[in-house]
Amino acid sequence: MSHSLFRTHWDAGVHPRLHHMDRGTAYEAAKLGMWLFLATEVLLFGGLFAAYVIYHWMYPAEFHAASHHLDRTVGLINTIVLLTSSLTAALAVDAAQHNKNKKVSLYLALTIVGALIFLAIKSYEWHHKWTDGLFPGSVSPEGIAFNSPEFTHAYKMFYGLYYCMTVVCTGFTLFLVRPTLGGYSTIQVRTAGHRSTIPQWRLVPCTGTWSIDLDLLIPLLYLIG
């Protein structure tokens, strides 16, 4: 493994991110930065949430009917996959706190596997939406196009919000791979005899929000019927 770049920084006692503060301060700053990022994420999801509330209020009957087209069992399985992923991410941090580097790598790998399973289940679900004519641009087996006026406005709103919200979640999944891998490579640096406590904080809030997002999504979209 080539970690010579990182090792040089550490051997010189200078880390690219640490040069202007001590490690305790850097740890606190990195953690607050992560929570700040989460704040923006809550507001992003909050906008979609607000749109959902208003349209649910305007078209309650249509929203309930549209929600029946979503498979609750698939939603349940996907939630449990993401909860497991959150657990492994939390356990990766726990292992890092105990300085068990091999375990950290294992748990991070499991977290990524969870993310991939989530994406696989989502693509299965969306494929069904396409064949059933419930995806923008698709045509149902009865020959009714999603974009046609026969398909009521409320249905389009429900599915529009469904796709927006799940894209946010799916986007998170993809976005997460990067910090997770980032954490992975920096933890590898620790194996070389150095200790970094900052990267672990990158992944905790990430998987946390990710499961909280889906957690709100499932009742709103799948369970209102």
Partner 1 sequence: MFGQILPMKIYLGVFAALVVLTVVTVQASYLETGPAMHLIVAMVIASIKAGLVAMFFMHLKYENKITWLYAAFPLILLAILMGGLFIDNPYRVKTVPIGKQPVEEHVSAPAEH
- Tokens 């974009």 belong to 147
Q: Which amino acid is at 186?
A: T
- Restricting to residues 83-142, which ones interact with partner 1 according to CB under 8 A? 83-84, 86-87, 89-91, 93-94, 97-99
Minimum CB distance to partner 1 smaller for 34 or for 134: 34
One-letter-per-residue 3-state SS of 189-209: HHHCCCCCCCCHHHHHHHHHH
Give the x-and-dash track for 31-50 against partner 1 (CB under 8 A).
xx--xx-xxx-xx--x--xx
Minimum CB distance to partner 1 smaller for 110 or for 224: 224
Sign, Cα dihedral of 46, 47, 52, 55: positive
**Least distance in angstroms from the C-beta of 30 to partner 1:** 10
Minimum CB distance to partner 1 smaller for 89 or for 134: 89
Answer yes or no whether residue 179 interacts with partner 1 by CB under 8 A: no
- d(CA 12, CA 213) in angstroms, rounded, equals 42
- d(CA 30, CA 24) in angstroms, rounded, equals 10
- What's the CA dihedral at 68, 71, 77, 83 to 10 degrees? -40
Give the x-and-dash track for 47-86 against partner 1 (CB under 8 A).
--xx--xx--xx-x---x-------xx-xx--xx--xx-x
- d(CA 182, CA 201) in angstroms, rounded, equals 11
**Size of site (CB under 8 A) for partner 1:** 58
Answer yes or no whether residue 21 interacts with partner 1 by CB under 8 A: no
Applying CB under 8 A, among 24, 137, 143, 193 the residue interacting with partner 1 is: 24
Answer yes or no whether residue 193 interacts with partner 1 by CB under 8 A: no
- d(CA 56, CA 68) in angstroms, rounded, equals 14
**Least distance in angstroms from the C-beta of 197 to partner 1:** 5
Answer yes or no whether residue 167 interacts with partner 1 by CB under 8 A: no
- d(CA 150, CA 131) in angstroms, rounded, equals 18
Helix 4-11 vs helix 153-191: crossing angle, to nearest 10: 60
Answer yes or no whether residue 181 interacts with partner 1 by CB under 8 A: no
Helix/strand/coil for 151: coil
Residues 6+ apart with CB under 8 A from 188: 1, 3, 101, 105
Residues within the interface to partner 1 (CB under 8 A): 23-24, 27, 31-32, 35-36, 38-40, 42-43, 46, 49-50, 53-54, 57-58, 60, 64, 72-73, 75-76, 79-80, 83-84, 86-87, 89-91, 93-94, 97-99, 153, 197, 200-201, 204-205, 207-208, 211-212, 215-216, 218-220, 222-225
